[in-house]
Amino acid sequence: MTISAVPEFQHRTVLLDEAVDALDLTGPRADGIYIDGTFGRGGHSRLILSRLGAAARLIAFDKDPQAIATAEQIADPRFQIVHDSFATMADALAERGIGKVDGILLDLGISSPQVDDAARGFSFRNDGPLDMRMDTTRGQSAAEWVATETVENLEKVIKEYGEERFAFQIAKAIVARRAVEPISSTRQLAAIVAGAVKTREKGKDPATRTFQAIRIHINKELEDLEAGLTHAYDCVAPGGILAIISFHSLEDRMVKRFFASKANVPQPDRRLPIRAVDLPRPELKLLAKIKPSDAEVDANPRARSAVMRVARRLPYVATAAAGGAR
């Protein structure tokens, strides 16, 4: 367990040992260069550092100023923190004169301290300002967005990012309420959604999907993930590991499809006269799909939706026809 920069909020790192084990920090790899793309409250980073050799480097990223404050407390010359999205990793590595890294870990979504701190506006359970920004130093807040967006765009975001079947009714209700008063708190928005959702899912607050959708939109989470997957693939060296933990189906679907696009290559018609060197080759090897154990979910119910996919970047293998690796 790690402690955030705000002491009263605690965070349990999901799939802690499994994720760090997946990076395979053994033998010569212990002196490699690694990326923790989502520092959070530092659970993964601290365990990675405990297993790395003296010559290794770990570069972490996070948008959240509180996460940055926590990271700056780590006094380890092998560690650096970048206040930005992991989608900028290629530029950050270039600025540091780094070409390729030996492993990249992305732990997507939001951390428990962000959810539990009502002032951040992520949760409908405690009343607070309707903010939802992971980086509170820049960008548009959720309150600003719902105050100005059209019904059509509200519906689109809530439907696509929240997979909410009552998206149209919720969008109309938001526009109707903001004509009467500003929607500035999480409790206001949750009440609007509750009034528009006619059928409730068992065990789930009616506002769950809408809050998820708006958070994803405000923080450009799926755009960051799309760019981050491409940059991660480009930045990891042959033999390097990509380990990505997601918490909802939209993220996991993107990761699964990206990995599959690099691991499963179309095979040409065997009747065609194609040289071995010209045959398409897989670029990733899929290693594992890992979910939290029952014991972890019992101890931390927020882990229940997590899934980690792990892949290794394949080197180009020399063949007789090719006359060497490329």
- What is the CATH topology of the domain spanning 2-112+221-313? Rossmann fold (3.40.50)
Length of the chain: 326
**Interval 158-169: pLDDT, tens:** 999 999 999 999
Distance of alpha carbon 11 from alpha carbon 107, whole angstroms: 13
Residue 53 known to bind ligand: no
Distance of alpha carbon 134 from alpha carbon 97, whole angstroms: 28
Residue 42 known to bind ligand: yes
Residue 62 known to bind ligand: yes
Residue 44 known to bind ligand: yes
Any idea where the domains of the chain sit in the sequence?
2-112+221-313, 143-218
Residue 228 known to bind ligand: no
Q: Are strands 33-36 and 101-107 parallel, antiparallel or unpaired?
A: parallel
Residue 205 known to bind ligand: no
Number of Cβ within 10 Å of residue 93's Cβ equals 20
3-class DSSP assignment, residue 2: strand
Residue 86 known to bind ligand: yes
**Interval 201-253: pLDDT, tens:** 777 889 999 999 999 999 999 999 999 999 999 999 999 999 999 999 999 99
- What is the CATH topology of the domain spanning 143-218? DNA polymerase; domain 1 (1.10.150)
Looking at every residue in the chain, the average pLDDT score rounds to 89
**Interval 245-276: pLDDT, tens:** 999 999 999 999 999 999 987 665 566 666 55
List all residues 6 or more positions away from 84 whose beta carbon is below 8 Å from its beta carbon. 61, 63, 92
**Interval 70-84: pLDDT, tens:** 999 999 999 999 999
Q: Are strands 10-11 and 2-3 parallel, antiparallel or unpaired?
A: antiparallel
